[in-house]
Structures are given as C-alpha cells and as structure tokens.
Amino acid sequence: MPGLLATIDVVGLLTCFALLGTSRIGACIRFLALQGILFSLVPVIAHDDGLTVRVLLLAGANVALKGMIFPAVLLRLRTRAGFHREVQPYIGFVASILFGIVALAVSLGLARELHPALSHAPFAMLEAAIFLISIGLFLIVSRRNALIQVIGYLVIENGIFVFGAITVVETPLLVELGILLDAFVAVFVMGIAIFHINSEFGMADSDRLNTLRG
C-alpha cells in the first residue's frame, strides 16, 4: 500500500520540520510522539508478506513505547526540571528549517544513491530514514537544551528503526526486543542524567557543561 507509506512519509517529514521550527519543548515532545507512532506502523505496512503475529507485536510495542511511555517520561522530566522552551539555540529556528530543506534534498539524493543496492526497500521510507537521522543529529548539535538533545537522539532512533524495518527482511525477535529494550533504557538513563544535571547545575543547558577541556 504505497499510498499509505507516502502519507506516513509526508506527515513524518512535517513533524521533523515542526521539531526544527518550534521552541516550545512540550510541543517538541508531542511531535516526537506523533512521529514515533507513525513510523512504528511502517513494518506493518512495508511487509508485503502479510501480517504475522511477530510484526504486530513489535509494532504494538513500538507504539506503546514511542507513543506513550517516552513522551510521558519526557514531559514528566520537563515539569520536574522546569524548562519549557529552548532559548536561543546555537542555530536559530529559521536557519534550522532552511537546514531541514537542504537535508531533505540531500537525503533524497542519498536515497537515490542507495536504492539500487536496497532494491526491495520502498524508496520513500529509505529517504525518510536518512532524513530522520540527519535531523536528529542536527537537533543534538544545534540545541543547547539537554532535553532537546534527547529528543534528537530519539529522532535518530526512529530513523534507524525505519531503516532496519525496510532493509532487513527478518531479524530474530530477540534482536528486535533487545533493541527496543535498549531504546527504552536509554531514555530512562538520559532522563535520570538530565535530572541529576539539573539538580546539580540548576538548569540543563548542556553548553554550560564545558568545564572539562584539553
């Protein structure tokens, strides 16, 4: 059902741009949640060999994790840490969006490069995966707020998830679950880390964390 994939692709891209454009962290988290849910559906659609229990299980776990648990954790953290907006990122919101456009173009090109090698992978998703990864990196590099950096990391996770789902036909369930578990733990660990940093420094602007040099 390529049409469905295309929709997911477009909406997913828009969430990325939203992440780039907004300064309000709460909004970012929600966009992330939306994005997570969207792309969790990809394996269900992409797998033309019918819906196996395994696929459904995985999709469900993903939706639960990325759609509910992560946002919950992050929002809780936001309120605990008490920051609500990203103030003056390294790269301004407009510039970020411009970057997003460039990144989109680049990932289209890259996807076209890769597609012949990964013939069975739907092109749209390939391009989406690359775009997600690049955007996630960009968020980490361009934002001061540790929370948004976590969000960036999760965007990368989404990208990787999509990429894995469309390229690898069937990976052992064990692996899939392991990966999910890792993402899960990662978010918690980062959450705790941010909590500690916040309680120690009184804020979680990671650009204040530059005492260690040389």
Partner 1 sequence: MATLLIAFALLLLTGVAAIALRAQADIAQRIGQAGAVLGSLVGLGAAIAVLCGAKPALLVLNWPMPGGGIHLVVDRLSAYFLLPVFGVSTLTGLYGRSYLSKQGEPANAAGSWFHLNVLTAAMALVVVARDGLLFLLAWEIMALAPFFLVVFEDRREAARQAAWIYLAAAHLGTAFLLVLFVLLGNRAGTSDFAGFAGVLHDDPALSSTVFVLALIGFGSKAGIVPAHVWLPEAHPAAPSHASALMSGAMIKVGVYGLVRMLTLLGAPQAWWGWALLVAGAVSGVLGVLYALAQHDLKRLLAYHSVENIGIIFIGIGVGVLGLAYDLPVLAAFGFAAGLLHVVNHAIFKGLLFLGAGAVQHATHTVELEELGGLLKRMPWTGACFLIGSAAIVGLPPLNGFVSEFLLIYAGYAGLLLPTAAAAAAGLTTLVAMGLIGGLAAACFAKAFGVVFLGTPRSVEAEHAHEAAWPMLAAMAILALLCIVIGFAGPFVIPALAGIVSEASGLPANQIGASLAPLSAALQVATTVFLGMAALAAGLWIIRGWRLARAGVRRAPVWGCGFPRPTARMQYTASSFAQPLVSQFRLLIANREALVAPSGYFPTEASFTSDSGDPFLRLLFVPTFRWFGRLAARLNVIQHGHIHVYVLYVAATLIALLAWVSL
Partner 2 sequence: MAPAYLIVALLAVPVSGALACLAAARPRQVLAITIAVSAIVLALAARLCASVLSGSLVESAGGVFVVDAFSVFHLIVLALVFLICSLFASVYFADEGGAHPFSRGPARRFGALWLGSLAAMILVLVSNNLGIMWVGMEATTLLTAFLISFHRDRLSLEAMWKYLLICSVGIAFAFIGTIFTAAAVQSGGGVGADALLWTRLAAPDMRLDPTLMTFAFIFVLVGYGTKAGLAPIHSWLPDAHSQAPAPVSAMFSGCLLNIALYCIMRFVPPARIALGGFADGLLVFFGVLSILVAAGFIVFQRDAKRFLAYSSVEHLGIIALGYGLGPLGTFAALFHTLNHSLSKSLAFCAVGRLGQRFGTHDMATLSGALRHDRLWGLALLGSVLSLIGAAPFAIFMSEYQLLRAAAGAQKWVVLGLFLAGASVVFVSALRHLIDMAFGDAKTPSSPLRARTASYAVAVPALAALLFLGLWLPPWLVEAIDRAAAVLGARV
Binding site for partner 2 (CB under 8 A): 114, 117-119, 133, 137, 140, 146, 149, 153, 156-157, 160, 163-164, 167-172, 174-175, 178-179, 181-182, 185-186, 189-190, 192-193, 196-197, 200-201, 206, 209-212, 214
Residue 24's DSSP bridge partners are 85
By a kind-dependent CB cut-off of 5 to 8 A, residue 82 interacts, out of partner 1, partner 2, none, with: none
Q: CA distances (Å), 95 to each of 8, 63, 90, 98, in order?
A: 25, 31, 10, 5
Alpha-carbon distance of 162 to 5, in angstroms, equals 11
Alpha-carbon distance of 144 to 106, in angstroms, equals 25
Alpha-carbon distance of 55 to 57, in angstroms, equals 5
Which of 149, 133, 151, 131 is CA-nearest to residue 141? 149
Nearest approach, Cβ of residue 163 and partner 2 (Å): 6
Alpha-carbon distance of 68 to 176, in angstroms, equals 19
Alpha-carbon distance of 132 to 214, in angstroms, equals 33
Nearest CB to partner 2, comparing residues 18 and 155: 155
Confirm or reject binding of residue 141 to partner 1 (CB under 8 A): yes
Nearest approach, Cβ of residue 113 and partner 1 (Å): 7
Confirm or reject binding of residue 207 to partner 1 (CB under 8 A): yes
Nearest approach, Cβ of residue 117 and partner 2 (Å): 5
Of 137, 160, 179, 186, the one binding partner 1 (CB under 8 A) is: 137
Nearest approach, Cβ of residue 94 and partner 2 (Å): 25
By a kind-dependent CB cut-off of 5 to 8 A, residue 207 interacts, out of partner 1, partner 2, none, with: partner 1
Piece in contact with partner 1 (CB under 8 A), picked from 14-22, 42-50, 133-141, 177-185: 133-141
Confirm or reject binding of residue 209 to partner 1 (CB under 8 A): yes
DSSP-based three-state secondary structure for 145: strand
CB 177 within 8 A of CB 54: no
Binding stretches for partner 1 (CB under 8 A): 90, 113, 137, 140-143, 206-207, 209-214
